[in-house]
Structure 1
Amino acid sequence: MLNRLKLLLLFSVLSYTSINISLAQKIGYVDSEYILNKHPEYKTIQEEITAIGAEWRKEAQSLTKEIQEMYNALKAEEVLLTEEMYEERTAKIREKETAANAFNNRVFGTNGQYYQKQAELLQPLQSKIFDAIERVSRKNNLAILFDKASGLSMIYTDPRHDYSDFVIEELGIEENK
């Protein structure tokens, strides 16, 4: 009976201790969007992505313009064309439209070249930031660190728990005040 009581008491103490330890875990958050915008490489990457996107958009607009010109020419010459010639021209326009749609999907569609290029250019910077976040988390003994910019619903955040500036400092970024 005495052993059972000791065992029960030991179990109670261990349970209470583990509850207190889990309640004492430090939690914080960062704003990765804020960190990205502070990083000097991000602006360069954004400019490169914008330039690439503009070039591809120009190409897509050129295809659209070409299709419109083909329609205009068909409309202008419609009365002079035989039914066979009209059908032939219409088929060429449809081919061009299909090619333009394929280009737009290949470049700007889900997992298109534009988004792949964006991910490729941002990946090294994101890795640097993630590594800095990990180092800050370890230095500050954080058990959990949320990202405010990730879409996670954070109804209230106390600025005392914001570790974004620590990450910026860890990355060696000078504050421009």
Structure 2
Amino acid sequence: MKKCLGLVLFLSLLSAATMAQKIGFVDSEYILNKHPDYKVKQQEMKSLGDAWKKEAQNLEKEIQEMYNELKAEEVLLTEEMYDERMKSIREKEAAATAFNTRVFGINGQYFQKQDELMKPLQSEIFDAIDKVAKRNGIAIMFDKAADLSMIYTDPVHDYSDFVIEELGIEENK
């Protein structure tokens, strides 16, 4: 009987300790926007993306011009000449599609470059979050900017500014 009572007491203390764990949250979007490197990396991605978009638009423009030339000269062309021109247009279309897939497709160059630029920054922020959580005895840390739905958040549990401080970022007020 004493063993059973001891077990019940132990389990209730364990349960109370578990319920007393501190929970906090950060807003990674807010933290990223405060980080000076983030704006630089965003600008680099924008410039690169704009250059690739322009290249894709130029390919589409060339294809449209090829179609327009074909249409204008269609009556003067033999069937073989027409077929040869259509073949060239299809090859150009295939090249444009391949370019778009290679650059903007899943695991394309654009997303690989974005990952390459952002991974070190994300790692730095994660390390800072880890330090803040450990220093403040937080058992569970949520990210307000993630897909997790947070209907209400009490600002007293927001550790974003502690993470910014841990990263050594000066507040520009």
- TM-score normalised by length of structure 2: 0.99
Give a deviation string over 1:85-132, Cα, whole Å, max 9, x none.
101101110110011001001100111100110010011111110000
SS at match of 1:153: coil
TM superposition shift of 1:8: 1.0
SS at match of 2:172: coil
TM superposition shift of 1:40: 0.4
- Show the counterpart of 1:44: 40
Which of 7, 12, 25 pairs up with 1:16? 12
Q: Name the CA distance, whole Å, in 2 between partners of 1:150 and 1:173.
A: 22
Q: Displaced runs of 4+ in structure 1, greater than 2 A?
A: none
> What letter is aligned with 2:107?
N
> What letter is aligned with 2:95?
A
> What letter is aligned with 2:140?
I
Unmatched tracts of structure 2, length 5 or more: none
SS at match of 1:143: strand
Which of 136, 139, 155 pairs up with 1:140? 136
TM superposition shift of 1:12: 1.1
Which of 95, 102, 105 pairs up with 1:106? 102
- Show the counterpart of 2:163: 167
- Within a 5 Å distance, the mapping from 1:85-164 to structure 2 comes to 85-164=81-160
- Please tell me the root mean square deviation across aligned C-alpha atoms, in Å: 0.6
Number of residue pairs the alignment of both structures matches:
173
- Show the counterpart of 2:29: 33
SS at match of 1:86: helix
TM superposition shift of 1:140: 0.5
1:64 equivalent to 2:51? Answer no
Give a deviation string over 1:27-58, Cα, whole Å, max 9, x none.
01101000000000000000000111111111
Unmatched tracts of structure 1, length 5 or more: none
